[in-house]
Amino acid sequence: MIRRLSFGFVVVLVTAFIVVACGRQVTPNPPGLGPGGAPPGFIAIHYDVESPFNFSNYQYMIVFNTSGTGVTPSTDTVQTNWAGYSFALVSLGTAGTSYAEAVQFVRNQNPHIPPSWLKLGTTPGQLTYNPNSNGQGTEFSMIAQKAIFKGVASPTPSPSASPNNIWTFNAFVSQASQGQWYFLDSMGAGGPSDPQFISPKLCMTEPFDNTYYGLYTPSDPTAQIVSIEISNNPAASPSPCP
């Protein structure tokens, strides 16, 4: 089942070693770096699917809620008015190539109007992308400076000058068709539909390296999320979240 993602997105341009563990390839921490190879102040993402990525048809993204509300971004965008959609790291491309984007969802003052899709300008030092980090075409990785998640616009409700210390997330596989977007998978047992995923709370002032596993099996294995590894390395001395 495919759920339609009702984003009429407006695009605004702002411009190792590998070991095998538990049946999947994971990247150990390089010397001098934190979890997932993230430098201080960065977050690392490893995104795994069942079969090699199909960038001709799909986009692969992880969406963060940095507002501190604790809401998990879901596929029920019409019912939730896109609650929990703050920022995303997106892998997209064509049959031969792919690239990464950092995106801010800019909310309209009317919550029933879809948010704009604002591409954030990043430097190579702020966002790095490996489209084939396991050598099998089924995993990409990104390392992103958390400062980019401050954004450049003022959505309603707007994030604080610095993102809240407690984030939530969801991962999606989506498809664009004639200006509309459709979900094919998410972290929830229902994939593109209910039951939805409930995100753990990610304390961004503490180091962590956690792997979360997809629960749904879509008909196309290239659209099946196997796991999402999120690794955080705080810029300052670690401190617990309230």
Q: Can you spell out the DSSP letters for 134-192?
A: TSSSSEEEEEEEGGGGG-SS--SSPPPSS--SEEEEEEEEEEEETTEEEEEEESSTTTT
pLDDT of residue 161: 46
Range of the domain at 50: 3-233
For residue 241, being part of any structural domain is answered with: no
pLDDT of residue 160: 45
Q: How many domains does the chain have?
A: 1
For residue 239, being part of any structural domain is answered with: no
Q: Which amino acid is at 108?
A: N
For residue 173, being part of any structural domain is answered with: yes
Which two structure tokens, joined as six digits, stand for 170?
A: 């969801």
Note down pLDDT in tens along the chain; length 242 residues.
555 554 444 333 333 333 334 444 455 555 557 778 899 999 999 999 999 999 999 999 999 999 999 999 999 998 998 999 999 999 999 877 999 999 999 988 887 788 888 999 999 999 999 999 999 999 999 999 999 998 775 544 444 445 789 999 999 999 976 557 799 999 999 999 999 999 999 999 999 999 999 999 999 999 999 999 999 999 989 999 98
pTM, to two decimals: 0.85
For residue 30, being part of any structural domain is answered with: yes
3-state secondary structure of 228: strand
Buried b (16+ CB within 10 A) or exposed e, 45-63: bbbbbbeebbbeebbbbbb
The answer to whether residues 34 and 143 touch, using CB atoms and an 8 Å cutoff, is no
For residue 240, being part of any structural domain is answered with: no
pLDDT of residue 148: 95
For residue 135, being part of any structural domain is answered with: yes
For residue 132, being part of any structural domain is answered with: yes
Give the number of other CB atoms < 10 A from CB of residue 137: 13
The answer to whether residues 181 and 5 touch, using CB atoms and an 8 Å cutoff, is yes
With a CB cutoff of 8 Å and minimum separation 6, the contacts of 120 are 14, 87, 101, 102, 103, 104, 148, 151, 152
For residue 50, being part of any structural domain is answered with: yes
pLDDT of residue 32: 58
φ and ψ at residue 131, rounded to 5 degrees: -75, -10
